[in-house]
């Protein structure tokens, strides 16, 4: 991607292309429009319930355009009331014909509008995040399929371990992306609920019409209908935040793997993107920019989840501070997860895999990763522990001498023990062949691909778009 290809964000700042990448919008305009949409949806619901004049819903909806309001001025006025809804409601009522003004904010409290707006902002953000996760999953599936038999060294505790396949690595990414996306889809389908409780959660201002208006409001906005108002029950926010954090963790794990595999000394993968990755001081470098920026996003996510969890303890019927503490962390969490997902889709779609380098690195390991398999040949004769110790000593001798393991096994105590156990040179050679020690790597890769094909990731969009039963079953296992 060249500099000219970088997408522009009309509300962007100097860091927006890095940490606000993609289609998620959580800035002032997004929140303002969501609050206006909540007010307009309420006016339409009141009209449908016979509690507002005919045409009032349309009149309020026509006026509920964020471009007609000054977010900065509303923010300054919010300092008088503790939140921006009262000045917004006044401004909106003034913008509609007098006969329709009574339909603005009728029966609602500020938290109803802001919480409902938060659900709308989240729903719209989840649409974008799920789309990017679907793209990332498709790319990971392609890598898993293409590299099903590509052998590479496995690494545990950052040290060389037994061989794996890159197909299995990509399959692991795929399965994690799919499961994170399903968790987000379940939140989008059932946990993003309208908030409508009035001053203290009773909707007393609407008499007995409160529940009916709530259901109509939810239908107007495409949100779920809660059992009752949730002013100080913040589990919905925590469910959303936890699912976002899980998705960010998955993306961060993939990015960390890529940064490690792309190190100059390893060089088994490299990021795509023309013109990207340059250094201001070192012209020869090609930095893994997408991975680095994913990590820049995801490292900030756990702290935001912690803040939202701390804010969830809220007093009585309406909170003093806890509710207010949620707004910006939630917006940041949506934005950063969305940016990471957007970067992740591009990263995986353009990832270049060097199968030859993977094989060269495996061969350069000198057969040491296969030491356990050789020890298994001796175990029937010597017992597992003595066989392990003998091959460990041979490995240490070979490493000290700068020799491959196979050389050490042809002389000394190891050679004598192998001969006495009746283990042939051909058997030792077969044991040192990494291609014969992949276990169920291909079976697991195929299982991940089959599960992905079976899984039709649902788009976000509210209670009318439920998660398929097979997806829910996988998530609940």
Residue 11 has what pLDDT?
Answer: 57
Residue 159 has what pLDDT?
Answer: 92
Give the contacts of 288 (CB within 8 A, at least 6 positions apart). Answer: 258, 259, 262, 270, 271, 277
pLDDT at 471 over 50: no
pLDDT at 310 over 70: yes
What is the rounded CA–CA span in Å between residue 473 and residue 291? 32
pTM: 0.90
Strand partners, 270: 352
What is the rounded CA–CA span in Å between residue 219 and residue 391? 69
What is the rounded CA–CA span in Å between residue 71 and residue 374? 70
What is the rounded CA–CA span in Å between residue 97 and residue 297? 45
Share of residues in the chain with pLDDT > 70 (%) = 90
Residue position matching structure tokens 């996760």: 133
What is the rounded CA–CA span in Å between residue 104 and residue 89? 7
pLDDT at 457 over 90: no
What is the rounded CA–CA span in Å between residue 54 and residue 47? 6
- Catalytic site includes residue 318: yes
Alpha helices for 23-84 (secondary structure H): 28-48, 56-63, 71-81
What is the rounded CA–CA span in Å between residue 28 and residue 30? 6
Residue 411 has what pLDDT?
Answer: 85
Structure tokens at 204: 């007393």
pLDDT band at 274, cuts 50/70/90? low
Strand partners, 156: 159
pLDDT at 297 over 70: yes
Residue 13 has what pLDDT?
Answer: 84
Instruction: Check 68, 76, 279, 410 and give the catalytic one.
Output: 279
Residue 353 backbone phi and psi in degrees, to 5: -110, 130
Structure tokens at 422: 């009746």
Q: Convert the pLDDT of each residue in 392-440 to its tens digit.
A: 999 999 999 999 999 989 888 889 999 989 999 999 999 999 999 999 9
pLDDT at 463 over 80: no
Assigned architecture for domain 28-360+442-476: Up-down Bundle (1.20)
User: In terms of pLDDT, which residue wins out, 246 or 13?
Assistant: 246
Neighbour-count burial of 264, counting CB atoms closer than 10 A to its CB (0-12 exposed, 13-18 middle, 19+ buried): exposed
Q: Convert the pLDDT of each residue in 31-40 to its tens digit.
A: 999 999 999 9
Instruction: Check 318, 357, 359, 474 and give the catalytic one.
Output: 318
First to last CA, the chain: 41
Which helix or strand (DSSP H or E) is residue 145 part of? Answer: helix 110-146
In SS3 terms, 224-257 reads as ECCCCCCCCCCHHHHHHHHHHHHHHHHHHHHHHH
Name the 3-class secondary structure at 271.
coil
Residue position matching structure tokens 């998620």: 24
What is the rounded CA–CA span in Å between residue 390 and residue 92? 82
Structure tokens at 402: 């700068």
DSSP state of 106: T
Q: Convert the pLDDT of each residue in 167-187 to its tens digit.
A: 999 999 999 999 999 999 999
pLDDT at 147 over 60: yes
Q: What is the arithmetic mean of pLDDT over 330-345?
A: 98
Residue 104 has what pLDDT?
Answer: 98
Identify which of 324, 297, 299, 300 has the alpha carbon closest to the alpha carbon of residue 310: 324
User: In terms of pLDDT, which residue wins out, 417 or 6?
Assistant: 417
pLDDT band at 272, cuts 50/70/90? confident
What is the rounded CA–CA span in Å between residue 154 and residue 116? 48
Q: What is the Cβ-side half-sphere exposure of residue 237, based on CA atoms within 13 angstroms?
A: 33
- Catalytic site includes residue 279: yes
Structure tokens at 343: 């970067």
pLDDT at 476 over 90: no
Structure tokens at 334: 């949506």
Q: Convert the pLDDT of each residue in 14-70 to its tens digit.
A: 989 889 999 999 999 999 999 999 999 999 999 999 999 999 999 999 999 999 999
pLDDT at 388 over 50: yes
Q: Convert the pLDDT of each residue in 201-251 to its tens digit.
A: 999 999 999 999 999 999 999 999 999 999 999 999 999 999 999 999 999
Q: What is the arithmetic mean of pLDDT over 294-313?
A: 98
């Amino acid at each position: 991607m060249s500099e000219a290809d970088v997408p522009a964000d009309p509300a962007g700042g100097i860091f927006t292309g890095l940490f606000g990448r993609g289609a998620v919008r959580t800035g002032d305009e997004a929140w303002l429009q969501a609050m206006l949409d909540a007010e307009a949806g309420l006016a339409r619901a009141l009209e449908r319930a016979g509690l507002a004049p005919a045409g009032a819903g349309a009149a309020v909806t026509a006026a509920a355009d964020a471009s007609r309001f000054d977010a900065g001025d509303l923010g300054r006025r919010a300092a008088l009331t503790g939140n921006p809804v009262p000045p917004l409601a006044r401004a909106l009522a003034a913008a509609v014909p007098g006969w329709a003004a009574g339909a603005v904010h009728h029966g609602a409290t500020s938290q109803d509008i802001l919480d409902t707006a938060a659900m709308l902002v989240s729903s719209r953000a989840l649409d974008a995040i799920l789309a990017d996760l679907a793209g990332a999953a498709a790319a990971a599936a392609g890598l898993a399929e293409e590299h099903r038999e590509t052998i590479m060294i496995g690494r545990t505790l950052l040290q060389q371990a037994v061989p794996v396949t890159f197909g299995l690595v990509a399959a692991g990414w795929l399965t994690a992306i799919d499961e994170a996306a399903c968790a987000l889809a379940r939140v989008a389908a059932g946990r993003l609920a309208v908030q409508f409780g009035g001053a203290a959660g009773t909707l007393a201002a609407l008499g007995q019409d409160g529940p009916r208006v709530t259901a109509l409001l939810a239908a107007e906005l495409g949100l779920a209908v809660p059992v009752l108002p949730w002013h100080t029950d913040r589990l919905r926010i925590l469910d959303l935040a936890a699912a976002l954090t899980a998705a960010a963790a998955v993306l961060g794990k993939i990015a960390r793997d890529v940064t490690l595999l792309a190190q100059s000394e390893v060089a088994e993968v490299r990021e795509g993107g023309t013109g990207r990755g340059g250094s201001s001081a070192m012209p020869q470098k090609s930095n893994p920019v997408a991975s680095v920026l994913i990590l820049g996003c995801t490292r900030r996510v756990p702290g935001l989840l912690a803040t939202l969890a701390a804010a969830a303890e809220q007093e009585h019927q309406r909170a003093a501070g806890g509710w207010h503490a949620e707004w910006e962390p939630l917006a940041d969490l949506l934005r950063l997860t969305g940016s990471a997902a957007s970067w992740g889709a591009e990263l995986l779609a353009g990832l270049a895999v060097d199968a030859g380098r993977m094989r060269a690195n495996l061969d350069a390991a000198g057969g040491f990763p296969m030491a356990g398999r050789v020890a298994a040949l001796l175990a029937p004769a010597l017992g597992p522990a003595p066989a392990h110790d003998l091959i460990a000593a041979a490995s240490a001798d070979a490493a000290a001498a700068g020799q491959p393991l196979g050389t050490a096994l042809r002389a000394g105590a190891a050679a004598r023990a192998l001969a006495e156990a009746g283990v042939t040179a051909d058997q030792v050679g077969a044991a040192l062949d990494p291609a014969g020690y992949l276990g169920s790597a291909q079976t697991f890769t195929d299982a991940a691909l089959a599960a992905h094909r079976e899984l039709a990731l649902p788009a976000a969009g509210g209670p009318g778009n439920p998660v398929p039963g097979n997806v829910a079953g996988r998530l609940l296992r």
